[in-house]
């Protein structure tokens, strides 16, 4: 049901209640008026007739009948003269006022007052005066009918006027409802013009502000979704690049270890097998130089292969690869104490995550050695049923995260992007040892790896 119709029904109901109250008051007043008229008319007629009959109690009743016939009808009274033998000597003629019409029976019963007839005893006859309120009741009915017609016409005209005025009043609300419907259907560019009325204008302005804010919010959300999708694609692309790079590193490290390593070893063996007595001093020096260069080349290759791809990671797993990495740092940095602690089933960690964790530890140890000025470094890796944590901390001078992630420092940025592309968190914090702590947290299984 529309608001316009509801307002009309409410106003109509109130008007009907008001008109009904007026009708009840009118009926009550008419009833009182009829009763008073009947009482007064009966009293006047009774006093008059009683006085006339006292003039001559011994006269023939026919004289009184002739008098009554000359008197004619007395309003609101039925006069009847009855002889002692029951014969009717006189009866009031029918009323001529509004003759042929009567009020409805229910209205007559409602308005007829409770009055007793007046009886006057005469010599040889009885005079009976009975109140008759039919004409007064008909007057009351006619008045009430005219009042009802006027009220009905007023009610119709008032309803038409109210319907028109409410239509103008709620027209802005209908436009607002239509605008809300359009917004609900996705037309976020819907705007309302300047509406009539202070309240409607305020609502329209509020609606326009809301629609503008909603449109901006949806636009920002779409941009965020697009950026999120781009970020996800970028991370997937980055993981693919890292995977390809790791595969190329693995192949290159294997080739260096197997092919070049054997070749360098063969050169060294051949140089060592040439006896110095069979050569001139200059040739012997050159052979010695070849042997030293092959040793240096072999040592350099041994240092390069783990940086390309730790072979222990493929053959022995993440825990052994980290032990080899820590052992190598201990050998090259005697003044720095390294401690490695692992727990949990590290063998169940996926290959992509294992190499990512290894690279994080590798880069973190490089930063500790180059920048921390530390004397102690602890590495802790723990794998639980549904989570994994890695912490690398030192007792060095520490460094602000802003300095670690500023332009030019690709190591920290690469570690963060690598871990976040796998759905984990990468943070820097102050270490319990006093220096810097690198913290990695991931949940297992990794949804990003499973989806990939």
Query: What pLDDT score was predicted for residue 98?
Result: 81
Query: What pLDDT score was predicted for residue 380?
Result: 93
Judged against a pLDDT cut of 70, whether residue 302 lies above it is answered with no
- What pTM value is reported for the model? 0.45
Q: Tell me, what CATH number does 437's domain have? A: 3.30.565.10
Q: What is the pLDDT of residues 229-287, one digit of tens each?
A: 777 676 666 666 766 766 666 666 666 666 666 676 777 677 666 766 656 777 777 77
Work out the pLDDT band at 407, boundaries 50, 70, 90: very low
Q: Torsion-angle region of residue 423: left (phi > 0), alpha (psi -120 to 50) or beta?
A: left
CA distances, 198 to each of 119, 180, 195, 201 (Å): 76, 19, 8, 5
The residue among 171, 170, 190, 168 whose CA lies nearest residue 179 is 190
Q: Residue range 96-121: average pLDDT?
A: 81
Q: What angle do CA 439, 442, 443 make, to 5 degrees?
A: 150
Which structural domain range is residue 48 located in? 3-162
38 in the same domain as 81: yes
C-beta separation of 367 from 379 below 8 A: no
Work out the pLDDT band at 377, boundaries 50, 70, 90: very high
**398 Cβ contact list (under 8 Å, min separation 6):** 372, 430, 431, 434, 435, 436
425 in the same domain as 343: yes
* Residue 403 C-beta-side C-alpha neighbours within 13 Å: 6
SS3 197: coil
Pairing of strands 77-83, 125-131: antiparallel
Q: Which of 289, 309, 329 is the last residue of a domain?
A: 309
233 in the same domain as 348: no
Query: What pLDDT score was predicted for residue 306?
Result: 63
Q: What is the pLDDT of residues 56-98, one digit of tens each?
A: 555 566 677 777 777 777 777 788 888 877 788 888 888 878 8
400 in the same domain as 431: yes
The more confidently predicted of residues 300 and 450 is: 300
Q: Say if 186 falls within a structural domain.
A: no
Judged against a pLDDT cut of 50, whether residue 450 lies above it is answered with no
Q: Say if 176 falls within a structural domain.
A: no
Q: Which of 309, 333, 355 is the last residue of a domain?
A: 309
Q: Which residue has the tokens 């053959």?
A: 315
200 in the same domain as 297: yes
Query: What pLDDT score was predicted for residue 391?
Result: 92
201 in the same domain as 145: no
Range in 23-27, 47-51, 159-163, 349-353 with the lowest mean pLDDT: 47-51
Query: What pLDDT score was predicted for residue 378?
Result: 92
């Amino acid at each position: 049901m529309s608001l316009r119709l509801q307002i009309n029904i409410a106003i109509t109901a109130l008007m009907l209640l008001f008109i009904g109250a007026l009708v009840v008051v009118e009926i009550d007043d008419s009833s009182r008026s009829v009763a008073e008229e009947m009482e007064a008319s009966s009293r006047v007629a009774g006093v008059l007739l009683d006085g006339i009959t006292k003039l001559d109690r011994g006269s023939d009743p026919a004289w009184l009948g002739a008098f009554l016939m000359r008197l004619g009808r007395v309003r609101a009274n039925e006069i009847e003269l009855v002889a002692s033998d029951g014969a009717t000597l006189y009866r009031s003629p029918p009323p001529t006022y509004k003759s042929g019409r009567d009020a409805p029976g229910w209205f007559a019963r409602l308005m007829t007052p409770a009055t007793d007839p007046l009886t006057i005893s005469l010599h040889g006859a009885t005079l009976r005066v009975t109140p008759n309120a039919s004409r007064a009741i008909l007057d009351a009915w006619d008045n009430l009918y005219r009042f009802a017609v006027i009220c009905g016409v007023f009610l119709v005209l008032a309803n038409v006027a109210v319907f028109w005025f409410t239509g103008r009043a709620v027209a802005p609300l209908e436009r607002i409802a239509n605008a809300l419907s359009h917004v609900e259907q996705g037309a976020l560019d819907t705007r309302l013009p300047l509406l009539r009325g202070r309240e409607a204008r305020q609502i329209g302005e509020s609606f326009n502000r809301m629609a503008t804010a909603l449109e901006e919010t949806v636009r920002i959300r779409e941009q965020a979704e697009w950026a999120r999708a781009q970020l996800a694609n970028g991370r997937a692309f980055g993981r693919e690049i890292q995977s390809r790079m790791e595969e190329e590193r693995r192949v290159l490290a294997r080739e260096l270890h197997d092919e070049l390593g054997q070749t360098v070893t063969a050169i060294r063996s051949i140089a060592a097998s040439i006896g110095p007595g069979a050569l001139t001093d200059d040739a012997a020096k050159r052979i010695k130089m070849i042997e030293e260069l092959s040793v240096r080349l072999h040592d350099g290759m041994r240092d390069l292969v783990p940086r390309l791809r730790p072979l222990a990671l493929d053959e022995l797993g993440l825990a052994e690869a980290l032990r080899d990495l820590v052992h190598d740092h201990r050998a090259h940095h005697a003044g720095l104490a390294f401690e490695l602690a692992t727990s949990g089933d590290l063998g169940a960690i996926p290959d992509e995550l294992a190499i990512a964790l290894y690279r994080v530890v590798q880069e973190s140890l490089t930063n500790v050695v180059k920048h921390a000025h530390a004397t102690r470094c602890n590495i802790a890796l723990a794998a639980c049923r549904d989570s994994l944590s890695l912490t690398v901390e030192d007792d060095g001078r520490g460094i602000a995260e802003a300095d670690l992630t500023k332009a030019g420092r690709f190591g920290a940025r690469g570690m963060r992007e690598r871990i976040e592309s796998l759905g984990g968190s990468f943070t820097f914090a102050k270490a319990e040892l006093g220096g810097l702590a690198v913290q990695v947290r991931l949940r297992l299984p990794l949804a990003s790896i499973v989806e990939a």
